[in-house]
Amino acid sequence: MFGIGFEHLLVIMVVALLVVGPDKLPGVARALGRGYAEFKRTMDDLKNTMDQDDTVRGLREEFRSAQREVNLRKHLAQNLIMDQGTAIKTQVYDEPKKAFEAATVEGSPTQAPAIDPGEAEASAAETSSPKAGEIKQENS
């Protein structure tokens, strides 16, 4: 128990008998037994509480580790989405714009040449077919 042998226990009992007396010795022994049992329960509860605290600390650390990993993955996913968005913007907007700018710099026409309105009427009059009234006048 506490490293106490039978001889030591016998000496303790004789001293207790002499100090307390034979009438009160059974009550004192019961009180010491109850006190020891209460002390043992308290120590067991304390040990269980410490074990639970260790378990809670371990779970808390695992939770924090998982939370850090989730935050890291979230950050990486956001960066990936932004990179893909930039790549799509480049393909959809910037590359055609650069191609258009390169084409206009090289001098390739992007619009039909402008025509003076007076020239357009003159060329239309030359190429138009004669009207019905004009044909009769020429024959008469």
Average pLDDT over residues 117-128: 59
Domain extent for 44: 8-103
The answer to whether position 119 is within a domain reads no
Residue range 80-122, pLDDT digits in tens? 888 888 878 777 777 777 777 777 766 555 555 555 666 656 6
The answer to whether position 109 is within a domain reads no
Mean pLDDT of the chain, nearest integer: 79
Cα angle, residue 2 at apex, residues 33 and 11 outer, rounded to 5°: 75
The answer to whether position 40 is within a domain reads yes
Residue 134 pLDDT grade (very low, low, confident, very high; cuts 50, 70, 90): low
The answer to whether position 32 is within a domain reads yes
Question: What pLDDT is stored for residue 117 in this prediction?
Answer: 61
How many other CB atoms are found less than 10 A from the CB of residue 131? 9
- Looking at per-residue pLDDT, the higher value among 125 and 84 belongs to 84
Tell me the torsion sign for CA atoms 106, 112, 116, 120: positive
The answer to whether position 20 is within a domain reads yes
Q: Domain count for the chain, please give it.
A: 1
The answer to whether position 44 is within a domain reads yes
The answer to whether position 50 is within a domain reads yes
The answer to whether position 15 is within a domain reads yes
